[in-house]
Amino acid sequence: MNRRYSIAMFTAIAIAAIAAIAAMVCGSVHIPTSEVLSILTGHTPGKDTWGHIILDLRLPAVITAVLAGMSLAVAGLLMQTIFANPLAGPSIMGVSSGASLGVAVLVLLFGAGTGAVVSGAILGAMAVVVLLVALAGILRSGVMLLIVGILISYLSSSAIILLNYAASEQSVHTYVLWGMGTFSDTSWDQMAVPAAITTIGMCAAVFMAKGLNAMLMGENYAANLGVRVWALRAWALLTAGTLTAVTTAYCGPIAFIGLAVPHIARLALGSTNHHRLLPLTMACGAATALLTLWMCTLPSRWGAVPVNAITPIIGVPVIIYIILNHRRIAYFN
């Protein structure tokens, strides 16, 4: 197990590193790999503009992708564990829909500009998180809470459709662009907030690893071991929701990373031990997001491709594989 974990972790980190360099090489302006490495190590670039492109534009996008990938992957893992549902994820629980509704209210209803997007997304997502955490103590049933999350998603989608119908063309354009997803809109000045919250969220998830392992055997088994199931569910929801809220605020509602990456990590590890699974999920999340960023920056007639045009290409085959082979995958049995 130690050898398999080491190989999987090394592979994920290597893929992440290669994808990060590739994402900084590719784009509307191609910069040689040697120049990228030279700039990153503090040497003078061959052209002055290359230094600006790498340090001020592409490097922040790479760091944003790492933070977003880790956050969404861990959020998905937490939700799949506490609900004992392999198809649970941030979008299923209504957190992403809440963020989208928050942005829609400010942008479509009040005509706010792009500067209000972050505030609207955080407020909308956290409103859903607070509601779910409150209901976790009342319902005390993972299935019922999952149903509530799905209903929230439907209600949010309905409200967004109405707001789109009544909004101006410019407001709809702003909202649609945000909904496509991007890792490239976060500057160095904005980086502190998502970096700090991601770090805190990762630490909180690792702290819950023992309780999450107990939850794999069922709520009654976990309770007999002394785990306060409703409290663990509430904390896991709060952690997953906060990570999703911040990521959605800065990057848009990114699809499939939170759903597919935990399965990639489990298959690579061959275990559901969260003491090992959480770090590997973080690494796989970062690698997946960086691969997505690189694919978005590949030269095309349309320029940079939206993130949500790429993530289904990676995520859908994984989910289909899981559905077709769930009977012979060890962690389902």
Task: Give the pLDDT of the chain (333 residues) as one tens digit per residue.
Answer: 688 999 999 999 999 999 999 999 988 888 888 888 888 888 777 677 888 889 899 999 999 999 999 999 999 999 889 887 787 888 777 888 898 899 888 888 887 666 677 888 888 888 888 888 788 777 767 678 778 888 988 999 899 999 988 888 888 888 888 889 899 888 899 899 899 999 999 999 999 999 999 988 888 888 888 888 888 988 998 899 889 988 988 898 998 999 999 999 999 998 889 999 999 999 999 999 999 999 998 876 666 789 999 999 988 998 888 888 777 665 555
With both helix axes pointing from N to C terminus, report the angle between 274-297 and 192-207 in degrees, rounded to the nearest 10. Answer: 150
209-214: long-range pairs with CB below 8 Å, 24+: 209/274, 209/275, 209/278, 210/274, 210/275, 212/78, 212/81, 212/82, 212/236, 212/274, 213/272, 213/273, 213/274, 213/275
| Token output for 44 | 């003078």
Sign, Cα dihedral of 43, 48, 53, 56: positive
How many residues make up the chain in this entry? 333
Q: Cβ–Cβ contacts within 10 Å for residue 295, how many?
A: 19
Strand, coil or helix: what is 286? helix
Kindly report whether the global pTM for this prediction surpasses the value 0.85. yes
Whole-angstrom Cα distance, residue 305 to residue 209?
37
Domain assignments of the chain as residue spans, ordered by start = 2-332
Q: May I ask the CATH class of domain 2-332?
A: mainly alpha
